[in-house]
Amino acid sequence: MAPHHERPGAAPERRPGGRIRKRRRWPTGGKSEQPQGGGSDLDDEQLEKLLDAEQTADALAEEARRTTSRRELQYHPAFNLLSADVGQLDEEAFDELWAEDADEALEILAMMSHATDRPLAALARRLAGRLLIDLTTAGPARSGGVGRLVQQPARPDSSDIDVEASLDAIHGAMVERRRPSLDDLTTRAWARPQTAVCLVVDRSGSMDGSRLATAALAAAACTWRAPDDLAVLAFGDRVLTIKDLDRKQPPASVVTSVLRLRGHGTTDIDLALKAARRQLLASNARRRVVVLLSDGESTTGDDPVPAARSIEELAIVAPADEPEHALRLGREAGARVQLIDGPLDVVSALNAVLNHRQ
């Protein structure tokens, strides 16, 4: 399948009143070296780099010690308007910033979620969680990630007879003085879910406000589209399990966990894709999709192309101002590529991916 390249016009967008909306870059600090050859199965060394949910919680708690001081936050021009004093977050001022530049508002909110000022960080995470869920649930209805209870003809191995639906046929058999056959009976069974999703978040290098907000919004969108058949992974040179496919977790909890991510290490896309494929093997959904949120540049580990080709359906969501690596990986692996300019674009990008039919 050919890569799908959607990018807004190259010219900056002029806002009402003449203000120009700047293009945002996703920093890629910390990336170096180049990957070796590849495959589609995890070896013992790679398995040691997969952290389960409990290990991930411990890792995130350890990383939470790395915070952002109020002095550092003041480099953002909107910070003093939003937080005039320790432990304060002015939601009215945030609403005004949101109306003026929603992407910028999401960026500073994500940055404040890492604040050394703990009350401020808690307020920022609470507001972000509520806002991101609202943004995604206001869009199109979810695509049916969970299975549905359906009626179907009985089979020899059927166990749950729908008596009410079978009554007419059973009565007809009695009138004809014969025993009801399987053809007369209707059963209830769970149909296979339509779509399973594994969201894979690149957190290597620098995890600035824009990248963090984009990742959290992507997680919120995926929890809405496939709430039960969803896995969320984050990776650098190892893989964190934010949500296992078979573990139920409230959407707000998933989003909060993503907001706790810090930039870390080099970029092993091969490892991340193998871990995603392993998650989706546990699903019996008709469609299994891996969404890779990354610029597509792999700096350590094996060549990611063989692992990418082994995935049933891969979509890459990448920054529009650094598309080269993502487009190359998409072209070589037969993956769809969606390019975005800022956090808010990720919702429409994911809708395009998940509404697409191969």
Q: What is the pLDDT of residues 27-49, one digit of tens each?
A: 444 454 444 444 558 888 999 99
pLDDT of residue 147: 39
Three-state secondary structure of the chain:
CCCCCCCCCCCCEECHHHCEECCCCCCCCCCCCCCECCCCCCCHHHHCCEECHHHHHHHHHHHCCCCECHHHHCCCCCHHHHCCCCCCCCHHHHHHHHHHCHHHHHHHHHHHCCECCHHHHHHHHHHHHHHHHHHHHCCCCCCCCCCCEEEEECCCCCCCECHHHHHHHHHHHHHCCCCCCHHHCEEEEECCCCEEEEEEEECCCCCCHHHHHHHHHHHHHHHHHCCCCEEEEEECCCEEEEECCCCCCCHHHHHHHHHCCCCCCCCCHHHHHHHHHHHHCCCCCCEEEEEEECCCCCCCCECHHHHHHCCCEEEEEEECCCCHHHHHHHHHHCCEEEEECCCCHHHHHHHHHHHCCC
Assess whether pLDDT exceeds 60 at residue 249: yes
192 pLDDT more than 50 = no
pLDDT digits (tens, 9 = 90+) for 97-126: 999 999 999 999 999 999 999 999 999 999
Q: 20-66+194-355 adopts what CATH topology? A: Rossmann fold (3.40.50)
Q: What would the mean pLDDT of 296-308 be, rounded to a whole number? A: 95
pLDDT at residue 6 tops 50: no
Domain ranges of the chain: 20-66+194-355, 149-190
